[in-house]
Amino acid sequence: MRLLRAGLLGLLVQTGIVCGSAQLPFGGENAFSAYDDGLFTPLGDLSSLSSTEFTSLGHPMFPRHNVRIKQSHFCDASVRAYTGYIDVEARHLFFYFFESRRDSDADDVVFWTNGGPGASSTMGLFMELGPCRVTSPNSTEFNPYGWNDKANIFFVDQPVGVGFSYADYGESVGTTQEAGEDIAAFMAIFFAHFTKFKGRALHLAGESYGGRYIPVFAATIYDKNPQLIEAGLTPINLSSIMIGNGCTDFSTMFPSYYLAQCEDPTFPAVQGISDCVRMKQLVPRCQKRYKEACVDKLDTIDCAAAADFCQASLGGLFKDLNHYDRSRPCKGMNITECYPIVQNIGDFLNNNHTQALIGVDKSLRGHTFNWSSQTVHQAFVANLDHYAFPAQYYIGALLERGVRALIYVGATDYICNWMGNEAMTLALEWTKQESFRNDPLRVWTINGNQIAGLTRSGGGLTFATIVGAGHMAPYDRPVESLELANRWLAGVDL
C-alpha cells in the first residue's frame, strides 16, 4: 500500500495535478506537510510549524527541490524566527527567516545574501542588519537597527559549501546562474506554501559579490513567473533589488581602484604622487586588455590574465591596507583582525548548543564553522564568473521591466568602492537611462538635516552613498542604513 501511494503521488506531481510534492523524512527529523486524502495542500501558516522537528515542503514545478523548516527560538524574542534547509537532491542550503517587528502580516519580504563568492550570510545576520548581534560564544544582543524593523527577512548561506550549507557527495555550484536556480525554486515553494505572503512584494538584497548574485537571482525569479501563472499559481511579486557595496561590473571597478587610492574627492589620497602617476598610466592598459579579453570576446586564458594584470597593477600597493574600509587602521584582508566580531560569530556558531537550537544537521555538528569557503570562491573564479559574467546587464533588463534597483555604497570602502559603483550605474542601458543620468548628485539626510550621503535617482534606479561607512555599511552606520532600507521599502525618495 505504501509503495502504491508513493507511486500515485509521484505520478500526480509529474502531471501537475497536485500543488506540491511529498518528500521522504530527511534524517528521521522531518514531519510531512499537510495532506488531504493523500494529496498535498499548502501549509498555510508559519505558526503551525513545529519547534522540535522539520516540516518538509515541496512544489510540483520543482521536483528536485525540497524545503525543510522549523521554528527556532533565538536571537530576537520579539518576533518569530525559523531555520531550515533548501534540499536540492544531495545539496543542502541553510537559511534563517525572521518575521517583521512591525507587522508580519502586511510588511514586505526581503531576501539577503552576502558575497565572496563563498561568504556566509551569517555575516549580514549577526554583524550587520539582522535582529541581533553576537556578543560572545554564548550570547547575542538585540539589534534595534535590524532590517526586520519593517520587513520579513531571509538570510541564506549560498551557494552549497558556504556556512552550514553542505553536499552529501561533494556536489558543488560554480556559477551565479546555477545558484540562481536554487533560490528561485526556494522562493516559489515558500510563497506557495505560506499563503499570507502570496502576492507580497519581494526585494532581493545582497552585499559585495551580491552585486553579481542579486541581479541574476532576481532575473531567474522574474523569468519563471509565466510558468507559475500557466500552472494556475500566484506569480512572485518581485518589486526591487538592493545591492550594497557591490562588485557588479569589473570594467568599471578595476579603474576605480586607482581613483580610490589617488583621486577620491571625498577621501585623502592613500598613495604617494609617484605611485599614483604610475597607476594612472596603467589604467588605460588595464581597460584595453580587459575589454579585449573579457568583454568583446571571452577567452578563458586571456581574460584571467587581463584580470590578474588589472588587479596587480591597480590594487597591488593596497595589499597591506584594509580593503573594507580606508578609514579603519588594520592590515590587509584579514577580516577577523579588522572586525573581531567575525571571530565571535564563528565561536557562537561553533557552539553545540547553538547548532542544536537552530537545527543544524547532526552530521555537521562538531565540525568547524567557517565564515568563508575558499573552495567555493575558487570554483567561481575558475569559471570566470568572478570577472567575465555581465551581471550589470541584468540590472538594466530588470529596470526595463519595472523592477526598481537601489545601489548603495559605504563611502570609505575600497574593494567595491562608490566611484566604481557610480560609474557602473551611469553606464547602464535601459529606456529611462537619461532620467537617471541627468539627475545631479545631491545630499540626502536623516533626522532633519544630518547629512547621510549623496544620491541620484531616475527611471527606477537609485544610487546612494553612506558617509562614514565602509564595505559592511549596516555595521558601520546602522542608523543611516536602516533609514535607507525603510525608505526604499516604503517607496519614499531619499
In this predicted model, what pLDDT tens digit does every residue of 92-149 receive, in sequence order?
A: 999 999 999 999 999 999 999 999 999 999 999 999 999 999 988 888 999 999 999 9
pLDDT at 369: 85
In whole angstroms, give the CA distance from residue 69 to residue 362.
15
pLDDT of residue 328: 84
Mean pLDDT, residues 332-346 taken together: 82
In angstroms, the CA 121 to CA 157 distance is 5
Which pLDDT value is given to residue 143? Answer: 96
What digits encode the pLDDT tens for the residues 455-487? 999 999 999 999 999 999 999 999 999 999 999
The predicted structure's pLDDT at residue 320: 78
d(CA 140, CA 158): 23
Catalytic residue among 239, 471, 476, 481: 471
Best CA proximity match to 315, nearest among 262, 358, 273: 262
Quote the pLDDT of residue 1.
Answer: 33
Which residue among the candidates 208, 240, 256, 373 is catalytic per the annotation? 208
Per-residue pLDDT at 110: 98
Cα–Cα dist 25/19, whole Å: 19
Whole-number pLDDT of residue 2: 32
C-alpha to C-alpha distance for 424 and 416, rounded to whole angstroms: 11
How confident is residue 36, by pLDDT bands cut at 50, 70 and 90? very low
Q: Which residues, 6+ apart, have CB-to-CB distance to 17 below 8 Å?
A: none
Q: Is 208 a catalytic residue?
A: yes
pLDDT of 285-294, one tens digit each?
A: 999 999 999 9
Residue 368 pLDDT level (bands cut at 50, 70, 90):
confident
CA 493 – CA 215 distance, rounded (Å): 22
- Give the cell for residue 172: 558543488
**What is the rounded CA–CA span in Å between residue 488 and residue 486?**
5
CB 409 within 8 A of CB 236: no
Distance of CA 460 to the CA centre of its chain: 20
CATH number of 46-250+325-490: 3.40.50.1820
Q: Cβ(294)–Cβ(388) under 8 Å?
A: yes
Q: Quick check: is 413 catalytic?
A: yes
Q: Is 486 exposed, middle or buried (0-12, 13-18, 19+ CB in 10 A)?
A: middle
Catalytic residue among 413, 457, 476, 481: 413
Q: What average pLDDT does the chain have?
A: 88
Residue 358 has pLDDT above 80, yes or no: yes
HSE of 214 in the Cβ direction (CA atoms, 13 Å)?
A: 36
For residue 56, indicate whether it is catalytic.
Answer: no
